Amino acid sequence: MTSAPNPTCLAVIGAGQMGRQHAALIAAHKDCSLAAICDNDPTARSVANRFGVPFYGTVPELLNGERPHGTIHGAIIATPNAEHAPDAVRCIQQGVPVLIEKPIAESLAAARQIIDASQETGTAVLVGHHRRHNPLVRQTKEILQSDALGRLVGVSVLWTLCKPDDYYDLAWRCTPPAGGPTLINLIHELDSLRYWCGEILEVFAHASSATRRLQVEDSLAISLRFENGVLGSIFASDTTPAPWSYEATTGENPRYHTTSEDCYHFFGSQGSLTFPQLNVWSYPAGSPRGWQQPLTTQRSSCDAEDPLPIQLDHFLNVAQQRETPLVDARDASRSLATALAVLDSATQHKPISVETP
């Protein structure tokens, strides 16, 4: 009789909302276990107590306390953006694979520190652009790569919702550089667009804070130019009652009210696609083409799933060297570069080329 394999032991660094969510997923997973909680806030010890695991106040203390005993096989980093790079590099240098919450870091210079450490040590880095793990997102990519739409021409995105006023009770959400929807929310949209449509070369953004009157933007209009000639646009606002956002339309997260609307429209030379309903609009095969001709629609069937458990499964395989990261440090740095270009464009009032990490 063979014994069951030892579970993969993971530490969670950062016990905020996302850190607690990751800890709960780990604790409930049959193939891994929660090794420790680390947070520089002493009150976070209560989170460790809740899960019955050791608590550490700093990453060096965590690594010194657990790594020599082989009780950490990987770490999930869910600290504030500015702490991502130093926390990740410390783990990587000790040979501990990491899953870093998006964005990978607060700056490209910090992101390069993570890239360099990963390359120098051969230690894997997975970045938490979790939407890429959603089957609905993956099926959309398959449709776009098929001949259903022909050559992709353009894409239009709406990310419009109303965050409750108390969302901004946390000071960091109200102040640059980490606050505002661009780095908190739109980096997801930009990463998805890169995944679906190809690399973004240039952005031109206008931003407004006229409604909430905070130091950070509440609304943006963004033009995008892709490497392959595709053009795109995003209108985003977190201050309008509206049903057109990824969160509202996909049903991925049950905490959001779900609608049956679409928030992405893809336009091709042979057809168009809506997301997340996955309706393909086109002229019937062999029929005349033109604006006076009737279009037909065909819907694909795919349900959204919570991608965080799927991402955790993938990270376990990454930590055990069974898979390569779906979103590695360099890939995630490109999404960060795109989001930072949006902010630079809005400030400088001109088109900005996306820097290559």
Determine the pLDDT at residue 357: 79
Which tokens in the block code for residue 105?
Answer: 């870091």
pLDDT of residue 161 exceeding 80: yes
**Annotated domain spans of the chain:** 8-123, 132-305+337-353
Determine the pLDDT at residue 348: 98
Determine the pLDDT at residue 5: 58
Determine the pLDDT at residue 223: 98
- The fold of 132-305+337-353 is Dihydrodipicolinate Reductase; domain 2 (3.30.360)
Interacting residues of 205 by C-beta distance below 8 A, sequence separation 6+: 220, 221, 222, 223, 342, 343, 345, 346
pLDDT of residue 85 exceeding 90: yes
Cβ–Cβ under 8 Å, residues 149 and 266: yes
Determine the pLDDT at residue 2: 38
Interacting residues of 36 by C-beta distance below 8 A, sequence separation 6+: 11, 12, 48, 53, 54, 55, 56, 62, 65, 66, 71, 72
- The fold of 8-123 is Rossmann fold (3.40.50)
Instruction: List, for residues 263-311, the tens digit of each pLDDT value.
Output: 999 999 999 999 999 999 999 988 999 999 999 999 998 877 899 999 9
Residue 100 CB neighbour total at 10 angstroms: 28
Instruction: List, for residues 17-57, the tens digit of each pLDDT value.
Output: 999 999 999 999 999 999 999 999 999 999 999 999 999 99
Q: What is the widest separation between alpha-carbon atoms in the chain?
A: 72
Of the pLDDT bands very low, low, confident and very high (cuts 50, 70, 90), residue 254 is: confident
Q: What is the chain's mean pLDDT, rounded?
A: 95
Instruction: List, for residues 170-192, the tens digit of each pLDDT value.
Output: 898 999 888 899 999 999 999 99
- Tell me the mean pLDDT in the region 246-250: 95
Q: Do domains 8-123 and 132-305+337-353 have the same CATH topology?
A: no
Determine the pLDDT at residue 1: 35
Which tokens in the block code for residue 4?
Answer: 């069951």
**CA of residue 284 relative to chain centroid, distance:** 37
Instruction: State the Cα–Cα distance between residues 232 and 4, nearest whole angstrom.
Output: 50
Tell whether omega for the bond before 177 is within 30 degrees of 0, i.e. cis: yes
Query: Which helix (DSSP H) or strand (DSSP E) does residue 344 occupy?
Result: helix 329-348
| Positive/negative CA dihedral, 135, 141, 143, 146 | negative
| In the chain, % of residues over pLDDT 70 | 99
pLDDT of residue 241 exceeding 50: yes
Determine the pLDDT at residue 159: 98
Instruction: State the Cα–Cα distance between residues 351 and 326, nearest whole angstrom.
Output: 30
Instruction: List, for residues 89-135, the tens digit of each pLDDT value.
Output: 999 999 999 999 999 999 999 999 999 999 999 999 999 999 999 99
Name the residue type at position 24. Answer: A
Interacting residues of 46 by C-beta distance below 8 A, sequence separation 6+: none
